[in-house]
Structure 1
Amino acid sequence: MLFTLIGAVAVAAATALVMFFVRRHLWRAMPRWALPAAAGLAMISFSIWNSYAWYDRITGHLTDGVVVAATFPTRSPIEPWTYLFPRVQHFVAVNMADRAQIAAHPEYVLAEVIEFQQFRDVARSVHLFDCRNRRMGRPPAEAPQFDAEGTMTGVDWAPADVGTPLIDTVCGSS
């Protein structure tokens, strides 16, 4: 957020310098309000551009093997243009390069889930995916235990409708 403020101030200063030059050397009859209005408009424009460009900047720097699983477009009444053009300020990715199957039960996959939110720290967590039953949950802290049917016990499974994009990414859409 600090870099956004610094960038907006720098853009406003550069715009003010250009407007000052134009008023002093090219257009002496320019109204006095034009310089601060142009600087303010430049700050607002930069802030809007920076908000929309955040997702592309972050995904452009993801390491190989990290795949975006879900994006969450945002609309806000204090940014009315987002109702026409929603912007992504929150998305979830999966580290596919480091996922691991449990040897005795290949339908269970452990994968790192990475949550990105604008102006927040990145959150990383490991999740267990049951590809056969299409569900996900937190793996148990101790060594996994299996019942007679081969189902892992002690897992806090998420509700069925939660995590569908993640499950599709880790297990495939089939």
Structure 2
Amino acid sequence: MLWELIATIFAGLGAAGIALAIRFISRKKAPRWLIPVFAGLGMLSFQVQSEYNWYQHQAGRLPAGVVVIRTVEQRAFWRPWSYIYPQTLRFIAADIGNAAANQRNNAVWLVDLYLFERRLAAKRVPQVVHCQQQARTDFTENLQIPAPGEAVSPAWQKLDDNDPLLVALCQRQTS
């Protein structure tokens, strides 16, 4: 975040420099208020650009086997441009490449989900997914893995047929 602040300041200084050049070329006929206006617009433009490019940058840095399964687009009144083009400021990625099948029931997989949010550190959340019964639950020490053919407990959350986690994990594991 410190580097982003420094880059924002330099974007403002660069834009102010453009305004100074305009004043120099016009032999100081351009108004003086152009300098702070350009500086402010430069800083605002840099911030908007960095917020819109954050998701592509983060998703592009994910290692092989880690798949983005959900994005969250946000709109905010203090960002009026986000109503035209919403910003992706959060997303969830699943580490499909390192998912591990349960030894007792090979339809049950342990997979790590990573929660990414702008300006926050990523959070790792281990999940257990039952491919046949289309359900998931948090991984805990007290978790009871159902035997093959046995129904899952109410602690498990049912997933839709087209849930991105279920599709990414279970279809990859069957192929």
Answer yes or no: same fold by TM over 0.5: yes
Task: Decide whether the 8 Å contact of 1:66 with 1:95 is kept in 2.
Answer: yes
Counterpart-to-counterpart distance in 1, 2:146 and 2:169: 22
The equivalences for 1:16-95 within 5 A come to: 16-24=16-24, 26-28=25-27, 29-95=29-95
Over residues 114-138 of structure 1, what are the superposed CA-to-partner deviations in whole Å (9 max), with x where a residue is unaligned?
Answer: 0100011100011000111111101
Letter in 2 for 1:94: A
Higher strand content, 1 or 2? 1
Whether 1:129 and 2:129 are equivalent positions in the alignment is: yes
Q: What stretches of structure 1 of length at least 5 have no aligned partner? A: none
Counterpart-to-counterpart distance in 1, 2:138 and 2:64: 25
Larger mean Cα displacement after TM superposition, 121-130 or 135-144:
135-144
Over residues 36-63 of structure 1, what are the superposed CA-to-partner deviations in whole Å (9 max), with x where a residue is unaligned?
Answer: 1111111111111110000011011111
Letter in 1 for 2:53: A
Over residues 98-123 of structure 1, what are the superposed CA-to-partner deviations in whole Å (9 max), with x where a residue is unaligned?
Answer: 10111331110110100100011100
Counterpart-to-counterpart distance in 2, 1:89 and 1:18: 31
State the secondary structure of the residue aligned to 1:156.
coil
The equivalences for 1:85-164 within 5 A come to: 85-142=85-142, 144-146=144-146, 149-151=149-151, 156-158=155-157, 160=159, 164=163
Please report how far the alpha carbon of residue 96 of structure 1 lies from its aligned counterpart in structure 2 after TM superposition: 1.1
Identify if the C-alpha distance between structure 1 residues 116 and 63 changes in structure 2 by more than 3 Å, giving closer, same or farther: same
Counterpart-to-counterpart distance in 1, 2:18 and 2:88: 33
- Alignment identity in percent? 26
Task: Decide whether the 8 Å contact of 2:134 with 2:158 is kept in 1.
Answer: no
Task: Decide whether the 8 Å contact of 1:65 with 1:96 is kept in 2.
Answer: yes
Letter in 1 for 2:34: A
TM-score computed with the length of structure 1 as normaliser: 0.87
TM-score computed with the length of structure 2 as normaliser: 0.86
Over residues 53-106 of structure 1, what are the superposed CA-to-partner deviations in whole Å (9 max), with x where a residue is unaligned?
Answer: 000110111111111011111111111111110110000000111101113311
Please report how far the alpha carbon of residue 17 of structure 1 lies from its aligned counterpart in structure 2 after TM superposition: 2.0
State the secondary structure of the residue aligned to 1:89.
strand
Please report how far the alpha carbon of residue 142 of structure 1 lies from its aligned counterpart in structure 2 after TM superposition: 4.6
Letter in 2 for 1:135: A
Counterpart-to-counterpart distance in 2, 1:108 and 1:55: 31
Please report how far the alpha carbon of residue 12 of structure 1 lies from its aligned counterpart in structure 2 after TM superposition: 0.5
Counterpart-to-counterpart distance in 2, 1:53 and 1:171: 31
